[in-house]
Amino acid sequence: MAKSVTKTQADPSEVMVKRVYSDSSIETEKDILAIEEPLEIRIAFYTKGRLETRAISITMRTPGDDFYLAAGFLFTEGIIRSAKEISDIKYCGKIGQPQNTVRVDLIKSTSIDFKKLERHFYTTSSCGVCGKSSIEALSTGAQPVAINGFRVSRPFDIHLMPELLRKSQSVFDETGGLHAAGLFDREGELIDIKEDVGRHNAVDKLIGAQLLEKNIPLNDKILFLSGRASFELVQKAVMAQIPIIAAVSAPSSLAVSAAKEFNITLLGFVRDQKFNIYSGSE
C-alpha cells in the first residue's frame, strides 16, 4: 500500500443523540460522526519570471491525506500532467490553527492552462453543461485508455471486491458515513483504499497517492467505488488511465457514455454475487 505523506483520516467526532425505538422508548447514547471540513487548494507557479499563488478549489472533505487530495485533484482536472511538475506540497496558515489550506508549488517550467483555473470543473449533476459538451471538454485533455491486453479472466475476483473494500473501511466502521475508493490489481488484491465524505475526494486521494508514488498510468488496475459511478469519477479514471471501473451502485447515463468513448469497462451493481456490464464487456 502506498505510504501516506500526510496524516491519516481525522478521528471521528463524538456527539450525544436521543435514539428513538419502535416501541416509543427513548435512550440517550453516544454517536460517532465523520469529520467534514473545507479544504482550500492553492497553487504556486511562475509567470513571467514571478512567483504567483492562486486559490483554485474549495472542497468539503474528511481531513487526512490532504496532500494526496490536492495532487490528485490537480492531476485529474488536467492542471498538471505528472508528479515531476510538483516541487513541494505544504499546509498554509498560522501554527495552531486548523490545517485547511494546502499549497502545491509547481516547478518553473510548468505551463498552466489558465482556462482550467476558471473553476469550470463539473462538480454537480446540475451544473448546466450538457453531456455532449462535458465529454468534448474531457477529450481536450485525455486520451482513450490503453488496455494493453489487460483482462479479468475470473468474475469471481470482481464478486469479492465489495467485501474486501468494506473490511478495509476503518472510519466507515465507526461512522457509517464515508465513501470509499479502492484500487485492485488484476488478481483481485486490494492495493490501496481511501475514504472521504465526498466520492470525488476519495478518488482524488487514491489517484493522488499513486501519482506521488510515480505509479501513473494505472492501466493494469481496477478502480472500485463504494457508491455510484458518476461522470466525474469516470473522468478521473480516464486521466489516470484506469481500464476498469466497478461500482456497488448504478452508473449515470453520462458515465456510461464517457466510459464507451474512452475505452473503459464499466461495471455497476457489483453486489450480492452479480454485476451489470455497461461498457467494455470484451
What residues are annotated to the active site? 127
Q: Own/partner pairs for 108-111, CB < 8 Å, 24+ apart? A: 108/46, 110/45, 110/46, 110/80, 110/85
Cα separation, 237 vs 207, in Å, equals 8
**Residue entry with cell 513541494:** 88
DSSP string, 67-89: HHHHHHHHHHTTS-SSGGGEEEE
Query: Within a 13 Å sphere around the CA of 218, how many CA atoms are in the beta-carbon half?
Result: 31
Q: Which amino acid is at 201?
A: N
Residue 142 CA to residue 139 CA, distance in Å, equals 5
CA gyration radius, the chain: 20
DSSP string, 97-130: S---EEEEEEPTTPPP-GGGGS-----STTSS--
